[in-house]
Amino acid sequence: MRLVSLEVYNSDGTPLTMDQLHLQLQRIRGLSWKTDKEPLGVLTGDHRHTWGQAYSTLMRDRLNRESARCIQRSLFTVCLDAPVLKVSDERYPSRVAAQMLHGGGSYSNSGNRWFDKTLQFIVGEDGVCGVLYEQAVADGAPIATIIDHVLDYCKDPDTARAPMTPLPLPPKLYFYITPEIQWDIERAKQNLDM
């Protein structure tokens, strides 16, 4: 798991073009292949009280507070997932559903989620994609409208090209993992896989 912040506007206030977004997402994915980082996102999938305690511990560090604030300010998350493990054709649909709902477990992509975000777009390396939506913050109607817009746009995308100006590398979000947080992560993994 690698947490990265992606600004979707150029310095002049214009939105990134489809090509620019594609380039930035490729750069992010390229940086994410080999990572020894802890799957911090599993904490957000734990019981709310347990996650709240872990969050309080995490926020004791300034670096962690800054990274968490960046995630909190974001409109949504995009989860660039590794492929869904395919054990058989008959079990594949249930594995894909688990991938969308919770990332497939601690051994798969669950650490690649941030369940506190209302809207998460999930894009798998193998083409599996979907949306995870937390209804406690927003009503379903606006989210359905957003999804309809995305699907309509995919059918007829705006292919206007802009000059590919050099873009800064999307900044990584860093977290300082103390032994206490490491223990919280291990417990969250166990709870998720039960």
In a domain, 105, yes or no: yes
Give the separation between CA 95 and CA 162, rounded to whole angstroms.
Answer: 39
Please give the residue range of the domain that contains residue 158: 18-185
> Is 3 contained in some domain?
no
Q: pTM of the full predicted structure?
A: 0.85
Backbone torsions φ then ψ of 177, nearest 5 degrees: -100, 105
- Give pLDDT tens digits for 1-47: 568 899 998 888 888 888 888 889 888 888 766 555 778 999 999 99
Q: How far is CA 89 from CA 85, 93, 94, 96, 180, in A?
A: 11, 8, 10, 11, 41
How does pLDDT run across 88-144, given as a tens digit for each residue? 888 888 889 988 888 988 888 999 899 988 889 999 988 889 998 877 666 778 888
Rounded to an integer, what distance in angstroms lies between the CA atom of residue 190 and that of residue 105? Answer: 9
Percentage above 90 pLDDT, the chain: 34
Please tell me the total count of domains within the chain: 1
47 domain residue, yes or no: yes
Is residue 191 in some structural domain?
Answer: no
What count of Cα atoms within 13 Å lies in the side-chain half-sphere of residue 154?
6
In sequence order, which residues have a C-beta less than 8 Å from that of residue 50 and are 6 or more positions away?
A: 184, 187, 188, 191
For residue 61, the domain's CATH number is 3.30.559.70
Whether residue 171 is contained in a domain is answered as yes
* Residue 194 within a domain: no
Task: Tell me whether strands 77-81 and 119-124 are parallel, antiparallel or unpaired.
Answer: parallel
Q: Would you say residue 136 lies in a domain?
A: yes
Q: Which residues pair with residue 131 across a beta bridge?
A: 121
Q: Is residue 94 part of a domain?
A: yes
